[in-house]
Structure 1
Amino acid sequence: MDSNTGQIGGMSLRAKVFRSRLSETDQICARCLLRLKRTRTIRRPFSVSRSPNEANEAISANSKLEKLLRKEYFSANGSLDSSKAQWQRQTLSNQVTEATRPAIPEDASTTTLGAYPQSQPLPETLNGSSELPHRRRKRIKDEASAEAPFPLDASSRLSTLSSTMPATSLRRLVTTCLALSKPRLSFLIVLTTATAYSLYPVPALLLPSTTTSSSLSALTLIFLTSGTALCCASANALNMLLEPKYDAQMSRTRNRPLVRGLIGKKGASIFAAAAGALGVGSLWFGVNPTVAFLGGLNIILYAGVYTPMKRISVLNTWAGAIVGGIPPLMGWTAAAGQSATGSGEWRELLFGEGSVGGWLLAGLLFAWQFPHFNSLSWPIREEYKNAGYRMLVWTNARMNGRVALRYAILCFPICAGLWWFQITDQGFLLTSSIVNAWMVKEAWRFWRKEGHKGSARGLFWASVWHLPVVMVLAMVHKKGLWEGIWKRLNGESEDEDLWMDDEEVQNRARDSEGHPLRVARGLSSSGA
């Protein structure tokens, strides 16, 4: 190699670097490139092509030019020199990097770069990587918007806590049993049951006789909530007992007690049987037989129908939604049994004149579960597929979004029905519509984006907040609640007139002495 000319074998080194194929660049020595940099002659700009003395003589020969072109003008060209030198250093650094990079395998030109023939030099955008630029940008964008799994449920956290305790301690046994019952899910179910019980229209809600009224018996409410919670615990424990092999294959369920070996199948079976017997017994003796039957039916449907159906058909989601709709019907039936005028049998409690409120609440829970579960299952859809669960999220992803949107919209007429049938006041129609609109908006994004770009996470959290907020709003807007509070604050009458509806007010009459006669709820009294 000639260090003065920078040539190798008759070809300039610069041509050797930039015109050879990428597979040949590893044959160029980086030391030669650095030597070329030190020996190259850089042409200087116009302003410094002459010596300083020659430049001064040329300027002094012409007085006009001396005024226009002063010496300070030429002194500024030093910055041009430094800028050019800096640019050349950057160019040399790039050359060294390209020359010392390992060669791409031969098969790369026939796969990713197969569109470029061997006889032509590769474009500069492909010299650095075998991945096409637009594909690399798309990959980075997809990775940035990738959905992370949702936080672990309460059962997984309790299992982790239980594993840190001594194996023979009572605290570990209690914590493990609590993990078997899925406490967060059980709490939501108990909340819907208690909400339905409190929404039943009771004539004397705020009167002093409330504490002795059988329709709002605190003891009945205790039996109802505790019995429902025990039935939920039994159903959830049976669900874990039937599928530990499949739970171990999924990140969402692999931390459950049976999978981790914190409790054996025999112990889980004893817990499920005991919880189920106590739950159904509490509902039978503390509430009424109809509610006890619904509680036992829910255990059978969840463990005997929904759980095995998950590996057979996508209709398992609809079966699970039926299970979720039964608890509010239990709460409504419990209140109806306390104020029944007939024999109190199941036909009167479930299909009587005032049973529409319970069915509306059951329909609300049925519809709510589709946007909730469809978004919950989206980040782990591949895990469901690999474990053999027939879920709509991977069998038909587009339909999965449509179903979530469809049932989110259905919450509007259901909440309107609660107002139409005088279960809640008109304010509930407005406040519930705001919450429903939020979930519909997220369900629309979930459907349009097919779960990507954070839409699944947005719908999941909207559904998590939707259920308790709507339940609380329904209790706050119970029909006649605020009217009674307002009248009591103003010191008005506290008798049954507070709870007579418009039809009963129109039935008022006067007796023969001119005193008003009240007729309300089958009871009549005359003023003195």
Structure 2
Amino acid sequence: MRPPISPLRLQRGIFENVCWQCTERALLQAERRTAASSARFFSKSTLSRTSAATTRSNSTAAVAVLPRHRFKTSYFVSNNLLARFNGTQVTSSPAEAAATATTASDTPAPDLLPHRRRQAARRQAEAEAAVAHNGASQTPESDAPTSTMAPDASSLLAAAAARHPADSLRRKFSSILSLSKPRLTVLVVLSAMVPYALYPVPAFLSSAATAAPSLSPLTLLFLTTGTTLCSAAANALNMLYEPDTDAKMSRTRTRPLVRRLLTTRAAVFFAIGCAVVGTVALYWGVNPTVAFLGASNIVLYAGMYTPLKRISAINTWVGAIVGGIPPLMGWAAAAGESATADGTWRELLFASDGSSLGGWLFAAILFAWQFPHFMPLSWGIREEYKAAGLKMLAWTNPARNSRVALRYSLVFVPLCLGLCAAGVTEWSFAVTSAPVNFWLVNEAVKFWRHEGHKGSAKKLFWASVWHLPVIMVLALAQKKGMWSRVWRSVAGEPIEEEELEEFFDEEE
């Protein structure tokens, strides 16, 4: 039994005459000295090319590197000397190898150069993706809950802002913009603009080319601006209320307040400023009824829907009410410009002649759409909702979750018929909207039958994504009397006297 040998004197071939205990002790001493020093090693490829190369650092310490081919497998059967010396670990199965690679990549390496750390992070991400892919291939995709989802628009903007310098204007602007949840805000504005454009107006008060309501462009500008700011304020208050919850979910964990790209004070000022300016713009530029609806939406979304998510699954219905208010805002804006009486909220929202029925039908469409859209979406990330403590039917009552999605999918057929009967669209809209409505119902039936499994949740979600814009476009293309007025403009036919008499009778 030879005494321990100093690692600084190790030469090539000396291990052939040294017992494994002494060799292991010597190598352990070498590892301790290497960890304590500030030496930086060359890459693994360089070490493999030099069979006896010595890695030098800023200090005078040096450790001999032995070639892998100098040792035989039988010599190391009783110990892990070779694995420890080369920085790896011998494993007996691919699963152990993957686990070892993940553990090794998680170990911090402060002595590595920055580009080496980036390479290690990239290799770790590739290994995790490979493990996730192998696990998904063994478990049916539709039967396993989705543990992660693609980040939302706010998270993507926040991630883009984080790549810029901390004091740059672009970073600050992107971080503030991400507070508004841009995609959701755009949907809210569009849901207000479609009823605005579909409000029925007498022929001689409409543009012959487009048959759009005879509202001034300034009113349209104030409606768009006010609705955008009110939506941004509600979304910013929502993020202010639940940063801890956002940090627990893959879809929202990179939002600006979670990553501390903005201070809480800045977010509060942004939310209050948007709420005040948006409400004033709607009050002064549109009418008080629309301003009241915009302010009510902020209160419902930030003050009721957001806290209820931790208390009861009824929060989904409250959120659906929030989604149904913007169509009423657009309808009330158009009705305010065409009002013949005092223009109060009773005339704009509850007219005795039934002219306000179209606005309520559009509100019902947006209310019902929330359920076949959100129920399959929440089912895919139900485990994240559960871990975050948010009460959603997707995990509290999966059977009811699928029943609710099916129930509200069935109401689109009568709602589309109601738009035709109310004189908002032509009767052809009932025919052209039937295929897309039946498509949504068919996917909802599958979702209810399989309770989200076998890919039914994903199919229903994408059906809902396409359903709403198709319905809106079809309604715009088949507005009541639009094509007849276009034909009159092209053919030069005058407006019928019956329409004029009917209009003046209403005025009287």
Cα-to-partner distance string for 1:298-347 (whole Å, 9 max, x where unaligned): 00000000000011111000000001000000000000010111111111
Number of the residue aligned with 1:323: 322
**Separation (CA, whole Å) in 1 of partners of 2:232 and 2:265:** 16
Shift of 1:147: 5.7
> Is 1:476 aligned with 2:477?
yes
CA 1:205/1:379 → structure 2, altered by over 3 Å: closer, same or farther?
farther
Which 5+ residue runs of structure 1 have no aligned equivalent? 1-100, 103-136, 506-517
Query: Displacement, 1:488?
Result: 2.4
Per-residue CA deviations over 1:150-203 (Å, capped at 9, x if unaligned) read 432211111111111121122112111111101111111111100010111011
Question: Partner of 1:519 in structure 2?
Answer: 501
Q: How big is the shift at 1:215?
A: 3.5
Name 1:334's counterpart in structure 2.
333
* Partner residue in 2 for 1:237: 236
Which residue in the other structure is 2:170 paired with? Answer: 171
Higher-Rg structure is 1
2: CA distance, partners of 1:138 / 1:288: 54
Instruction: Give 1:354-369 correspondences, 5 Å limit.
Output: 354-369=355-370
Q: 1:210 to 1:276 in 2, by over 3 A?
A: farther
| Pairing 1:170-249 to 2, within 5 Å after superposition | 170-204=169-203, 215-249=214-248
Per the alignment, in what secondary structure is the counterpart of residue 343 of structure 2? coil
**What amino acid is the match of 1:402?**
R
Letter in 2 for 1:380: I
Residues 56-89 of structure 1 show CA distances to partners (whole Å, capped at 9, x for unaligned) of xxxxxxxxxxxxxxxxxxxxxxxxxxxxxxxxxx
**What amino acid maps onto 1:430 in structure 2?**
V
SS at match of 1:254: coil
1-side partners of 2:140 and 2:225: how far apart?
Answer: 47
Residues 142 and 452, structure 2, Cα contact 8 Å, conserved in 1? no
Q: Which residue matches 2:128? A: none
Question: Who is 1:117 aligned against?
Answer: none
Instruction: Flag structure 2 segments of 5+ consecutive residues without an equivalent.
Output: 1-91, 94-134
Kindly indicate whether the alpha-carbon contact (under 8 Å) linking 1:423 and 1:479 is maintained by their aligned counterparts in 2: yes
- Distance in 2, matches of 1:362 and 1:173, equals 36
**Distance (Å, rounded) in 2 between the aligned partners of 1:391 and 1:385:** 8
Q: Aligned-residue CA RMSD in angstroms?
A: 2.6
Residues 332 and 192 from structure 1, CA distance in 2 versus in 1: closer, same or farther, beyond 3 angstroms? same
Instruction: Note the C-alpha offset of 1:143.
Output: 5.1
Q: Specify whether residues 138 and 462 from structure 1 end up closer, same or farther in structure 2 by C-alpha distance, changes over 3 A only.
A: closer
Q: Which amino acid aligns with 1:227?
A: G
Size of the alignment, in residue pairs? Answer: 372
Which residue in 2 is equivalent to 1:382?
383
Map 1:60-79 onto structure 2 (within 5 A). none
- Amino acid of the residue matched to residue 365 of structure 2? L
TM-score by length of 1: 0.67
> CA separation in 1, counterparts of 2:153 and 2:483?
37
Describe the superposition over 1:347-368 as per-residue Cα deviations: whole angstroms up to 9, x where unpaired.
1111113111100000000000
Cα separation, 2, equivalents of 1:306 and 1:377:
16
CA distance in 2, matches of 1:172, 1:473: 40
Task: Identify which range, 445-454 or 394-403, moves more after superposition.
Answer: 445-454
Judging changes above 3 Å, is the alpha-carbon distance between structure 1 residues 143 and 282 closer, same or farther for their aligned structure 2 residues? closer
Partner residue in 1 for 2:372:
371
> Residue 209 of structure 1: CA displacement?
8.5
Indicate conservation of the 8 Å contact 2:142/2:453, yes or no.
no
Deviation at 1:214, TM superposition (A): 8.2
* Same amino acid, percent of matched pairs: 57
Deviations 1:443-502 (A, max 9, x none): 111111111121111111111111111111111110001111223223322x3x2xx7xx
> Which amino acid in the other structure matches residue 170 of structure 2?
R
**CA, structure 1 residues 138+325, in 2 after alignment: closer, same or farther (shift >3 Å)?**
closer
Q: What does residue 69 of structure 1 align with?
A: none
Tell me, yes or no, if structure 1 residue 463 matches structure 2 residue 461. no
Cα gap change, 1:172/1:413 in structure 2, threshold over 3 Å: closer, same or farther?
same
> Is the CA contact (8 Å cut-off) linking 1:146 and 1:453 kept in structure 2?
no
Partner of 1:348: 347
Q: Deviations over 1:229-281 (max 9, x none)?
A: 10000000000000001111111111111001111111110100011111101
1:93-492 alignment, distance < 5 Å: 140-142=138-140, 146=144, 148=146, 149-204=148-203, 215-352=214-351, 353=353, 354-492=355-493
